[in-house]
């Protein structure tokens, strides 16, 4: 090891974890592979006592899933309300064509909400968690469309299930 390398390593060892991480982030972009290694070598090794990693990873996955599900639920609920309001405004203006398009978009949002709920049930069943817990975190209940006969969109449900499964992959 050269004197230059020793001096850099000593200098890096005097930096905080935040400073080392910022340098490593810069160097890991390919700016300087040798410096990335030097920074990594300067990071102190520590022994930790912590919960089982598999347990924590699984719990983190459940939390990510619940958060993502909640975001999608409320995004679609907002879209549904927005389209219904736009349809009513178009009707008041006498613009039946625009009202029809907004009602169609409203019904699509309802179909997607049904897809989201179906994906929730499937993912929860596959992973041994209660969908009521996910809904509780989201602050909502099972979605009920405005009219009978609405169905989930199969393609959307499959896409949602796939995305949720990735969040839960450990």
Predicted TM-score (pTM) of the model is: 0.73
Distance (Å, whole) CA 99 – CA 76: 19
> Would you say residue 3 has pLDDT above 70?
no
Contact in structure between 66 and 72 (CB atoms under 8 Å):
no
Task: Report the residue count for the chain.
Answer: 170
Distance (Å, whole) CA 70 – CA 76: 10
Contact in structure between 33 and 39 (CB atoms under 8 Å):
no
Distance (Å, whole) CA 112 – CA 152: 6
Distance (Å, whole) CA 29 – CA 13: 21
At 111, list the tokens: 């179909």
> Would you say residue 1 has pLDDT above 60?
no
Contact in structure between 150 and 114 (CB atoms under 8 Å):
yes
pLDDT value of residue 37: 86
Distance of CA 139 to CAs 27, 135, 161, Å? 43, 6, 21
Instruction: Give pLDDT tens digits for 8-38.
Output: 667 777 788 888 888 888 887 777 888 888 8
Give the sign of the dihedral formed by CA 13, CA 14, CA 17, CA 23: negative
**Span 111-136, mean pLDDT?**
96
Instruction: Give pLDDT tens digits for 71-109.
Output: 999 999 999 999 999 999 999 999 999 999 999 999 999
Distance (Å, whole) CA 43 – CA 9: 10
pLDDT value of residue 7: 67
């Amino acid at each position: 090891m050269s004197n230059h390398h020793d001096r850099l390593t000593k200098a890096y060892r005097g930096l905080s974890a935040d400073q080392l991480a910022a340098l490593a982030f810069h160097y890991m972009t390919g700016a300087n592979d040798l410096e990335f290694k030097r920074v990594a070598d300067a990071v102190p090794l520590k022994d930790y006592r912590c919960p089982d990693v598999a347990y924590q990873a699984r719990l983190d996955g459940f939390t990510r899933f619940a958060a993502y599900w909640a975001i999608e639920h409320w995004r679609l609920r907002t879209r549904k309300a927005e389209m219904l309001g736009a349809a009513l405004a178009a009707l008041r203006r006498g613009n039946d064509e625009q009202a029809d398009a907004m009602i169609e978009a409203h019904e699509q949002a309802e179909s997607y909400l049904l897809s989201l709920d179906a994906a929730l049930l499937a993912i929860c069943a596959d992973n041994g968690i209660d969908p009521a817990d996910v809904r509780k975190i989201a602050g909502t209940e099972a979605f009920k469309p405005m009219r009978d006969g609405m169905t989930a969109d199969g393609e959307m449900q499959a896409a949602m299930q796939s995305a949720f499964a990735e969040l839960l992959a450990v």
